[in-house]
Amino acid sequence: MKIAIVGTGYVGLVSGACFAEMGVDVTCVDIDNDKIEGLKHGVIPIYEPGLKNIVIRNYEADRLHFTTSLPSVLNDMEIIFIAVGTPSDEEGNADLSYVMKVVNTIADHMEKPLLIVTKSTVPVRTSYRIRDVIRKRLNERGLQKLNFDVASNPEFLKEGAAVNDFMSPDRVVVGVESKEAEELMSKLYRPFLLNNFRVIFMDLLSSEMTKYASNAMLATRISFMNDIANLCELVGADVNMVRRGMGSDSRIGRSFLYPGCGYGGSCFPKDIRAIMKVGEDAGYEMSVIKAVEEVNNRQKTILFHKFSRYFNGDIKGKTVAVWGLAFKPETDDMRDAPSLTLIESLLAAGVSVRAYDPAAMQEARKYLDDRIYYAADIYDAANEADALIVPTEWKEFRMPNWSILRKIMNNHLVIDGRNIYSKEELASYGFGYSGIGQK
Ligand SMILES: NC(=O)c1ccc[n+]([C@@H]2O[C@H](COP(=O)([O-])OP(=O)(O)OC[C@H]3O[C@@H](n4cnc5c(N)ncnc54)[C@H](O)[C@@H]3O)[C@@H](O)[C@H]2O)c1
């Protein structure tokens, strides 16, 4: 089977490499020439555990190919996946310009039947729009009889665990409107069925909606727990205990009950905004989702306020160590990262920032250029700092040498945005501690 995946980012590259690993002949297409040339030489453009090995192995086995030219490979394929970005536009809608550019290229060059599958997260009815644009263009080209199909196959992988998620997903959701499309998608995913997961077929609109509804649900749990955590602080309860008590109810479950300094990343913020817009367009206000976003925006400011409150607002000229820049551990993705909200507030208040992240330093430079100091390691970041703030819970931050930190820091305050430290243990080293949702 031959497929092309257009867009070689987090989703496109992981999907392409994993399909190739299962024996599919995959061509990854991207407009970024540097990225494509790098990949041909084994340079992986993103940090994603386990990805490099499968990319190199399958490229060498001639099952994984890279190109910048979609027209040159299009008519050699059975399926074209669209996996380009769908960021928010200025009003919060999903910006479909990248998707539609790919669709127009397909419509301009296809000469034989094709299945066109959206893997990008797109608003409900986008598959219909794609179908209509292609049909219209084919008719203009005198190709009225040329058949094609559209399908929706939203991606649920998590950055940081993307390879594993793709290889053994909880489920695969596929929206189709013909038996032929269902059969082709079944054939493609059959090797993964040996791992015992389910492919759930449904109609196109429901498939598109499933992706937004899933992300909205997860974001809701996060904002809900952040609200509970903030209330815990005010009334003297400990959210770590509350979380355990709640999570052991099987109707609630333990996942996604961790309070913190807000969600970020390339998906939740933009998908939350997009589903609100889908609601607006349909004349329906998504009240819960609206509150989820409001709570999250407030939560992203919480670390700065804790720091400022500790010094009674007298923070100009202070120095802060920030451990963790990526929006979550095991990724270099900085999109909408809570660390950015924190650092921008610190810089605006005249505070110097010394930051360290195990994978995202290069990405961070794109957002923060030389306005902060990029430290060589956690101790370099903490050197002569007035406080240590942790927005991202990388494993290597969990058991630092507190005796060394006690010696090198000017002032001994830890603000823990992910509740990874024990207040008692830090107190024994002479550190003040402020977590999320604790007394
Ligand atoms: N990142 C995630 O964890 C994740 C998870 C699930 C779903 N998604 C969704 O998947 C989609 C892709 O996300 P991503 O994080 O992989 O994006 P990304 O920004 O990492 O990658 C997108 C790639 O598309 C390329 N591109 C843009 N226009 C192109 C064109 N016309 N032709 C060929 N290539 C083009 C870009 O150069 C880039 O390499 C989005 O809709 C996102 O919401 C992302």
pLDDT tens string 79-107: 999 999 999 999 999 999 999 999 999 99
Is 207 domain-assigned?
Answer: no
Atom of ligand 1 nearest to the CA of 121: 41
**Cβ atoms of residues 116 and 129 within 8 Å:** no
- Do 138 and 105 share a domain, yes or no? yes
Boundaries of domain holding 386: 300-434
**Residue with tokens 């729009």, as numbered in its chain:** 129
Give the C-alpha separation, 268 to 154, whole Å.
Answer: 14
Mean pLDDT of the chain: 97
Which residue's CA lies nearest to atom 18 of ligand 1? 9
- Do 8 and 127 share a domain, yes or no? yes
- Do 274 and 325 share a domain, yes or no? no
Q: Give the distance, in angstroms, between the CA of residue 22 and the centroid of all CA atoms in the same chain.
A: 24
Q: Cα of 30 to ligand 1 centre, how many Å?
A: 10
Q: Cα of 81 to ligand 1 centre, how many Å?
A: 11
Q: Cα of 339 to ligand 1 centre, how many Å?
A: 22
Q: Which of 255, 278, 298 is the last residue of a domain?
A: 298
Atom of ligand 1 nearest to the CA of 10: 16
Q: 155 in ligand 1 pocket by Cβ < 6 Å?
A: yes
28 is catalytic: no
The predicted pLDDT at position 277 comes to: 96
Give the C-alpha separation, 69 to 89, whole Å.
Answer: 27
3-class secondary structure for 239-292? HHHHHHHHHCCCCCCCCCCCCCCCCCCCCHHHHHHHHHHHHHHCCCCCHHHHHH
Is 20 domain-assigned?
Answer: yes
- Do 10 and 105 share a domain, yes or no? yes
Give the C-alpha separation, 191 to 199, whole Å.
Answer: 12
DSSP 8-class letter at 395: G
Angle at which helix 239-247 crosses helix 204-235, to 10 degrees, equals 140
- Do 267 and 337 share a domain, yes or no? no
The predicted pLDDT at position 191 comes to: 85
Atom of ligand 1 nearest to the CA of 86: 41
Q: Cα of 168 to ligand 1 centre, how many Å?
A: 21
Q: Which of 273, 298, 323 is the last residue of a domain?
A: 298
The predicted pLDDT at position 198 comes to: 85
Find the CATH number of the domain harbouring 118: 3.40.50.720
The predicted pLDDT at position 121 comes to: 98
- Do 305 and 227 share a domain, yes or no? no
Q: 93 in ligand 1 pocket by Cβ < 6 Å?
A: no
One DSSP character per residue, 328-385 reads STT----TT-HHHHHHHHHHHTT-EEEEE-SS-HHHHHHHHGGGSEE-SSHHHHHTT-
Ligand 1 pocket test, pick from 11, 43, 97, 108 with the greatest ligand atom count within 8 Å of Cβ, gives 11
Determine the residue type at 295: V
Give the C-alpha separation, 155 to 166, whole Å.
Answer: 9
**Cβ atoms of residues 206 and 175 within 8 Å:** yes
55: which residues sit within 8 A by CB, 6+ positions away? 13, 17, 39, 42, 44, 64
Is 250 domain-assigned?
Answer: yes
Which residue's CA lies nearest to atom 7 of ligand 1? 155
pTM of the model: 0.94
Give the C-alpha separation, 51 to 20, whole Å.
Answer: 12
- Do 308 and 273 share a domain, yes or no? no
Atom of ligand 1 nearest to the CA of 98: 28
Q: How many domains does the chain have?
A: 3
Q: 331 in ligand 1 pocket by Cβ < 6 Å?
A: no
pLDDT tens string 270-323: 999 999 999 999 999 999 999 999 999 999 999 999 999 999 999 999 999 999
Which residue's CA lies nearest to atom 10 of ligand 1? 120
Q: Average pLDDT in the 248-260 region?
A: 97
pLDDT at residue 197 above 80? Answer: no
The predicted pLDDT at position 355 comes to: 98
- Do 357 and 370 share a domain, yes or no? yes
Is 21 domain-assigned?
Answer: yes
Atom of ligand 1 nearest to the CA of 29: 33
DSSP 8-class letter at 78: S
- Do 171 and 221 share a domain, yes or no? no
- Do 167 and 57 share a domain, yes or no? yes
pLDDT-derived band at 195 (thresholds 50, 70, 90) equals low
Q: Average pLDDT in the 251-260 region?
A: 96
Is 198 domain-assigned?
Answer: yes
Q: Cα of 118 to ligand 1 centre, how many Å?
A: 11
What percentage of residues in the chain have a pLDDT greater than 70? 99
pLDDT-derived band at 193 (thresholds 50, 70, 90) equals confident
Q: Cα of 270 to ligand 1 centre, how many Å?
A: 13
Q: 176 in ligand 1 pocket by Cβ < 6 Å?
A: no
Of the given ranges (45-49, 116-120, 239-243), which has the lowest mean pLDDT? 45-49
Q: How many CA atoms lie within 13 A of 69 on its CB side?
A: 6
Which residue's CA lies nearest to atom 31 of ligand 1? 102
Q: Which of 298, 325, 356 is the last residue of a domain?
A: 298
- Do 29 and 155 share a domain, yes or no? yes
Is 224 domain-assigned?
Answer: yes
pLDDT tens string 158-179: 999 999 999 988 899 999 999 9
Q: 100 in ligand 1 pocket by Cβ < 6 Å?
A: no
Is 127 domain-assigned?
Answer: yes
Q: Cα of 47 to ligand 1 centre, how many Å?
A: 15
pLDDT tens string 351-383: 999 999 999 999 999 999 999 999 999 999 999
- Tell me whether residue 183 is exposed, middle or buried, using C-beta atoms within 10 angstroms of its C-beta: 0 to 12, 13 to 18, 19 or more: exposed
Is 36 domain-assigned?
Answer: yes
The predicted pLDDT at position 231 comes to: 98
- Do 134 and 251 share a domain, yes or no? no
